[in-house]
Amino acid sequence: MKSVQEPVNSKTINLLNFDRKGLAAFFVELGEKPFRATQLLKWIYQEEVEDFDLMTNLSKSLRAYLSEHCYLATPDIALEKVASDGTCKWVMQTDCGNRVETVFIPEEGRGTLCVSSQIGCALACTFCSTAQQGFNRNLTTAEIIGQLIVAQKRLGSAQKITNVVMMGMGEPLLNFDNAVAAMNLMMDDFTFGLSKRRVTISTSGVVPAMYRLTEVCDVSLAVSLHAVTDELRDELVPINKKYPLKLLMEACRDNAKIAPRRTVTFEYVMLDGINDSMQDARGLIKLLKTVPAKINLIPFNPFPGSSYRCSDKDTINRFKTVLNDAGIVTTIRKTRGEDIDAACGQLVGQVKDKSRRHLKLQQEDSGRAA
């Protein structure tokens, strides 16, 4: 496929921006039958054919049109790092001078790809390195699904991507349409064919988009919780000021109604002396009492400039025991790729910040110094 750095001349339509429904609409506009979408998906994703002239079950006139006006382009790999535990991080170049990060985590019997949805992040969660970089723009569908295409080609047949988590850079529900189209492609039988249980989208709590997601895309949901009171969550996850815990829990209960035995995964970063007390654990039990839940405890991964420290192992284990004893399935996320800054909360990329957050932070620092 074309690199994002290669000129595409007069070609203006990157067909990787369409899921099957979008492609069908595209072909109908051209006066073609909707089933052309399925044919094209099979050529691109299953046969890995990039030359439209070789797509022999398309008419010559359609192939000529596609060759003249359309192209297939994925991000470039600008940098690759492999950790001591086998975790692989790719820094991928977009066509606007920014870079995002994608991480592959190999495990026995599975391979998980952590995919970015935005260049930077606008939500400013205080414990996350990505959030400190500011925000530039949403990734296109092609740039999101392109991370999966590029990663699988890079890994080759020796390692298969079996799971995708939308937990990289950005808040995917603030890039709703592009993220959903990309996930539709991941799950399409004529592309990657991933099970809906193997595609997970993570959100910090964009409540209206959570309801919308329930209506249009059945994937696994993970919620970045990190606190059991609005006061603390306002500080750690500032979007809580707009959508407080009561509204968030209502949206989670709504999502859990999609299917029998459906659970929502709650991510909870362990911060020493901040949210790791036994009182916090009991508060978490009370908060999730009416939500079918699993909890993923995440040891905090430090980054330059952060004032937080990770809770010690004994504290994390005690926290887990309290939750498990209350009947809530609780796991401790194994830190992977820490030596290449690929662990949870460490993804940075290269962001030309359009949010002017760095100026605000400088003003706040100056005010505190005065």
Report which of 135, 151, 145, 189 is spatially closest to residue 166, judged by C-alpha positions. Answer: 145
Q: What is the DSSP letter of 190?
A: T
Q: In angstroms, what CA-CA distances link 283 with 59, 143, 167, 333?
A: 63, 40, 25, 21
Catalytic residue among 128, 252, 310, 344: 344
* Per-residue tokens: 214: 């329930």
Catalytic residue among 32, 101, 143, 171: 101
Report which of 40, 70, 44, 45 is spatially closest to residue 57, judged by C-alpha positions. Answer: 40
Q: How many helices (DSSP H) and strands (DSSP E) are in the chain?
A: 11, 16
* Per-residue tokens: 301: 């991964």
Distance CA 283, CA 52 (A): 58
Distance CA 80, CA 88 (A): 7
Q: In angstroms, what CA-CA distances link 128 with 12, 122, 255, 262, 357?
A: 36, 12, 26, 28, 15
| Cross-strand partners of 90 | 80, 102
Distance CA 209, CA 177 (A): 10
Q: In angstroms, what CA-CA distances link 15 with 45, 56, 147, 238?
A: 12, 18, 15, 36
Question: Is the C-alpha dihedral spanning 40, 42, 43, 49 positive or negative?
Answer: positive
Q: What is the DSSP letter of 312?
A: P
Counting other chains too, the contacts that 235-238 makes at CB distance below 8 Å and 24 or more residues apart are 235/126, 236/125, 236/126, 236/127, 236/271, 236/274, 236/275, 237/123, 237/125, 237/204, 237/205, 238/123, 238/124, 238/125, 238/126
* Per-residue tokens: 350: 């290269």
Question: Is 128 known to be catalytic?
Answer: no
| Crossing angle of the two packed helices 278-287 and 313-325, in degrees rounded to 10 | 30
Question: Is 101 known to be catalytic?
Answer: yes
Residues belonging to the active site = 101, 344
